[in-house]
Amino acid sequence: MNKLDLNQEEIRLIEHLNSPQKVQEFLLNEIEYDFNDDKDTNRSFRRVLRDKKAHCIEGVLFAAAVLMQHNYPPLMVSLEARDIDHNIFIYNLNGKLGSVAISRDEFLRGRPAKFRDIKDLVMSYYPYYWNYWTNDNEDLTLRGYAKVDLRIFKQDWITAEEDLNFIEDYLWKMKYRRLFPRNKEDRFYTCDKNGKIKNIFKGFLS
């Protein structure tokens, strides 16, 4: 862990948070959800720990930084919706998938490891993903999802002091898998920053 230039407080915490369940409890009990929508941040693990606040992407980065030291791959799944997107850390335990997540909505937080695949896990969020702006619980807005292995990023996302905007920018460029495609050619798409679907990817294999 020392090669990451972690300080003693960070090392002790990582050693203690040795399971997804412990990380989830720490995020819920020790880290304040950051409601400051007027000032976007993308904090690293170090800054989340210091500031004691985070939004969903930052919660994922915190979980990934900790659990990577306990041999969990640093995997994020981005949930793309018509209103507000969400991000979760996913892990495999005994062949089943679970998640670690923070959210302003209690129903969009982590899930125990009981899901057979990523879509099965994502669909557990779908019934609770109603329109944030209208609060109409019959208007379900979740459209698709995409997985990101954070090891693709060469930049420091664990101890960096600057905002990790390159990660958020990457999410806008990804191919998302549609939850309810009309046909095989309709399975993948990309979005712009306004949430408008830009492209349909035909013949793209998963």
Compute CA distances 6 → 20, 43, 123, 202, whole Å.
Answer: 20, 16, 36, 44
Average pLDDT score over residue span 180-190? 91
Q: Please name the residues in contact with 194: beta carbons below 8 A apart, sequence gap of 6 or more.
A: none
Residue 203 has pLDDT above 50, yes or no: no
SS3 191: strand
- Assigned domain for 205 exists: no
Residue 113 has pLDDT above 70, yes or no: yes
Q: For position 126, what pLDDT does the model report?
A: 98
Question: Average per-residue pLDDT in the chain?
Answer: 91
Read off the pLDDT of residues 25-73 as tens digits, 9 standing for 90 and up: 999 999 999 987 657 899 999 999 999 999 999 999 999 999 999 999 9
Residue 146 has pLDDT above 60, yes or no: yes
- Assigned domain for 40 exists: yes
- Assigned domain for 23 exists: yes
- The strand pairing partners of 93, in sequence order, are 96
Task: Tell me the one-letter amino acid at 151.
Answer: R
What domain range includes position 65?
A: 2-177
Q: Which of the pair, 58 or 5, is modelled with greater confidence?
A: 58
> Which CATH number fits the domain that encloses residue 39?
3.10.620
Average pLDDT score over residue span 69-82? 97
Contact by Cβ (8 Å): 45, 167? no
- Assigned domain for 193 exists: no
pTM of the predicted model over 0.85: yes
Average pLDDT score over residue span 12-23? 98
Number of domains comprising the chain: 1
Q: For position 177, what pLDDT does the model report?
A: 97
Contact by Cβ (8 Å): 18, 70? yes
- Assigned domain for 195 exists: no
The Cα–Cα gap between 54 and 36 comes to 10
- Assigned domain for 47 exists: yes
- Assigned domain for 151 exists: yes
Q: For position 204, what pLDDT does the model report?
A: 33
Read off the pLDDT of residues 150-162 as tens digits, 9 standing for 90 and up: 999 999 999 999 9
- Assigned domain for 202 exists: no
Q: Of 145, 110, 143, whose CA–CA distance to 129 is shortest? A: 143
